[in-house]
Structure 1
């Protein structure tokens, strides 16, 4: 599939979009340091990531109203998973619905996933904000403006609400990308067992 020459179309995701956007995010995060640390085997990782993102999108982000997709009119090229102010914590019911998918996806590496999740929760800002949990573009479409379109759309919403935004970057190369949108690094989180570093980034409203 070649990246088409099309203007990105941003829209809220529908439940019918979850399967495709999960596959898009699975390809986007295949070489992500956290994904590689959590699921070292490439074959298993390729299967596990769409399952994981699908569960997160279906049970947490879609009900929260922060699930956005960017498409070329035919394919979902990129997706962003946002939690609204006060809504970044998963509920017990959401956890119970997601855990079977997580166990099926990561198997014996589930303890690593839980460690990472607990570390991020312990260090999460308390001030109300929009939280960007996941942003990813299919490698075929990368560099064509789909991620930027998603960021511009949701950050305009944040600014209209005078709400800050927060994320954790798992790649140092992505820090300058987020800085262009007004995010600044506020801290670093080192995952256990020799895991990679996450960079905490905060954006004040404009």
Structure 2
């Protein structure tokens, strides 16, 4: 089996990235907490993922396979560890924005104070699942963190993912109980 080609995303990849992430996170506990309505989930999740993509694509920290079939959206270290989601898209309804802010505040308060690379989103379209593409795009960001001599951090609310990440070298740093049980995980600086 040949290794997939990993590319740095461009704005042209946006539609495929968003479609893949909306499909990949349909049953994710956090996304369903944020956007619980079945009818509006696709629209609101697309706005949310589009916002995350748009904020990071020009930083060169979004890696994809097949132009977005699998994607890792990384946030480089922030000098002041400010929350990256403080300017969410206006097209989200007020109640969804309140849930996003509550979740972000709870998780942000549990993140390390020292600089780190943050894996904000990792997903593969369900039609392409099982090929280990998520691991491949994740490693692109891990290489950047290692080159900077910094740890990497992520969070997951999917209990099955905790063990997958552990097998990939991540360690549980802490658990946030509410508003959604969430594991903060890290890989030490290398």
SS of structure 1 residue aligned to 2:90: helix
Does 1:64 pair with 2:34?
no
Aligned to 1:15: 11
Superposition TM-score, scaled by structure 2 size: 0.89
1:120 CA drift (Å): 1.6
8 Å Cα contact 1:10-1:150 kept in structure 2: yes
8 Å Cα contact 1:33-1:171 kept in structure 2: yes
SS of structure 1 residue aligned to 2:77: coil
Aligned to 1:152: 139
Superposition TM-score, scaled by structure 1 size: 0.83
Q: How far apart are the structure 2 equivalents of 1:198 and 1:95? A: 20
Q: How far apart are the structure 1 equivalents of 2:113 and 2:83? A: 15
Does 1:171 pair with 2:158?
yes
Segments of structure 1 that go 5 or more residues without pairing to the other structure are none
Aligned to 1:115: 102
Residue among 161, 165, 171 paired with 1:184: 171
Cα distance change on mapping 1:24 and 1:89 into 2, 3 Å? farther
More helix by share: 1
How many residues of Structure 1 are paired with residues of Structure 2 in the alignment?
189
Q: Deviations over 1:147-185 (max 9, x none)?
A: 011122221232232221000011111011111222100
Q: How far apart are the structure 2 equivalents of 1:107 and 1:141? A: 34
Runs of 4+ with >3 A deviation: 87-91
Does 1:53 pair with 2:37?
no
Segments of structure 2 that go 5 or more residues without pairing to the other structure are none
Aligned to 2:90: 100
8 Å Cα contact 1:33-1:170 kept in structure 2: yes
Does 1:25 pair with 2:21?
yes
Q: Deviations over 1:126-149 (max 9, x none)?
A: 111100011011111111121011
Q: How far apart are the structure 1 equivalents of 2:96 and 2:103? A: 11
C-alpha RMSD of matched pairs (Å): 2.1
1:37 CA drift (Å): 1.6
SS of structure 2 residue aligned to 1:199: strand
Cα distance change on mapping 1:62 and 1:90 into 2, 3 Å? farther
